[in-house]
Amino acid sequence: MTQEADAIVVGSGINGLVAAAELAQAGWSVILIERNAEIGGFIATEERTLPGYLHDTFSSWHPMFVTGLAYGALGEMLHQHGLEYRNTDKWLMASVADDGRVTLAHRDPERTVAEFTHPEDRSAYCTMLQRLGENRESIGGLLTSEMRSLALVRHISDLIQSSGLRRAEWWLRAAATSGRGYARRDFRGDEVDHLYAPWLLHAGLSPDNAAGGLMTSLFAATLHGAGLPVVAGGAGRFLAAFDSLLASLQVQIETGCEVERIVVENGRAIGVETAGRILRARRAVLASVTPSALYSRLLPESAIDSDLRVEAARFRHGRAALQVHVALSQPLGWTDSRLEQVPLIHLSDGSASTGIACAEAEAGLLPRQPTVVVGQQYLLDPGRVPAGAAALWLQLQEVPFAPRGDSAGELDTTHGWTAALAEGYANRVLDRIGRHAPDLRSKIRAFDVLTPWDLHARNPNAVNGDPYGGSAELDQSFLWRPLASLGSHATPVDRLWHIGASTHPGPGLSGGSGHLVATTLIRHAERGRLGDE
């Protein structure tokens, strides 16, 4: 095992994996360090309930990855190393209200809008998608470039030149608008709000946070364009493909190793210390950690300004999350039979109930009517369950890390997330599903709950059970991510780079920050070689 490489990558979540692969592909020697026994961050597949049931323990859906630049750079090689996707060209998703009202979205936007009540909403929805299509390169460039760079200026200029100042300004307004406000302003009916208000939770937002208007457009375009790809055989196969690719590129992977500090000499990061060893980096150290971990724990006090350390300590984390994995003897008999063919369902009344649940969670209360994300991945990938069986992947993104009470007044939160509280809250969630699938209880063979404490134990970047690496509200995104004084992946320490969900472009499985930093380093190295010549 070598003790030195061109680059050391700390953390093997999606961004660490992407950065390691792209640097190695460019000829860099790379050491990838992971504190857990396995690589992957919030990517894993396990038999969490019963033998034969493969559950994606954390993340599952890959539309952001397959539409991102990292996939463009690595996708072909990953497929050569065993990656396969399963997808749908039919019904994508649905939202189900408490009164039984169902709003559906199809891969085909025309099929989707055919369900809308108001004709003008049908044209408005298609116009929304068309607007993004016309500005795809500029908007994509804004989301995948360093925010404080000449590249950002170029993309803004291109947007204005191609669309005109007034139409370009529309995007700025969308970024300042909440999802609830955007749906109310641009649509007469409630179908768009019903479909996409719950999706904002997947971006770490609530229906009343700024940037929801922009994210509504991005989610809609991404889902219609890419569908809901899941990895054949479970998300763990995604890691297997990366593991094989990294091995072929001679990346040295060290698991079960926690980095204790980043070694800095003369203002330059020269390596990391782990388990009493110093691993040296000739060119760069990339850290996929939170700002507080980077500037308060890993770096020596002498390496950074005290004001920056204070600012990093004030980095805000968002709501916690909880997951329930359910093994079923048979597929559910939904009251609306169309849901039997829909891979992803949200139980929500739109901004109305989701907004209340977010407010309750942020007040430290267990929501009375939580928004429930119901994944039926087995519809796309039947091999994940025994023949004739089914499974549910349930995600709850509106829970407090340290509950102070229960909005319904039913559950005892005195001792926090005990096994009894986890089971009690899971039963609330299952009861909500059961109102729309009356045979649920008779078909449950087993279920497993992952509390916010379990998420934090698995991934230290999930501070307070927040799976999105920090609040994604507008004041902590884009120009101001990770920090208002440091909206860049470069750090004040020479050759130290910050990647991960806490950095731009934020949470999700795109691998965006890992790709961006890797390509920046490769480009700088190429320029250096040309200069030497």
pLDDT digits (tens, 9 = 90+) for 393-413: 999 999 999 999 999 999 999
The pLDDT of residue 529: 64
For range 17-27, the mean pLDDT: 98
What band does 370 get if pLDDT is binned at 50, 70 and 90?
very high
The pLDDT of residue 167: 80
Q: What percent of the chain lies above the pLDDT cut of 70?
A: 99
Domain ranges of the chain: 1-107+231-533, 108-226
CATH architecture under which domain 1-107+231-533 falls: 3-Layer(bba) Sandwich (3.50)
pTM over 0.95: yes
The pLDDT of residue 533: 38
The pLDDT of residue 532: 47
Q: Among 147-161, 168-182, 317-331, 470-484, whose mean pLDDT is lowest?
A: 147-161
Can you say how many angstroms the Cα of residue 293 is from the centroid of all Cα atoms in its chain? 20
d(CA 24, CA 30): 6
Task: Confirm if 315 and 502 have CB atoms less than 8 A apart.
Answer: yes
What band does 531 get if pLDDT is binned at 50, 70 and 90?
very low
pLDDT digits (tens, 9 = 90+) for 120-178: 999 999 999 999 998 988 888 888 899 888 888 888 898 888 888 888 888 999 999 99
d(CA 75, CA 57): 23
The pLDDT of residue 499: 98
- Average pLDDT, whole number, for the chain? 96
For range 440-454, the mean pLDDT: 98
The full DSSP string for 38-61 is SS-SS--EE--SSTT--EE-S---
For range 14-21, the mean pLDDT: 98
pLDDT digits (tens, 9 = 90+) for 183-239: 999 999 999 999 999 999 999 999 999 999 999 999 999 999 999 999 999 999 999
The pLDDT of residue 136: 86
Give every CB contact of residue 259 below 8 A, 6+ residues apart in sequence. Answer: 10, 33, 35, 272, 273, 274, 287, 298
d(CA 272, CA 258): 10
Coil vs helix vs strand at 265? strand
Task: Confirm if 34 and 254 have CB atoms less than 8 A apart.
Answer: yes
The pLDDT of residue 248: 98
Strand-strand pairing, 372-375 and 268-274 = unpaired
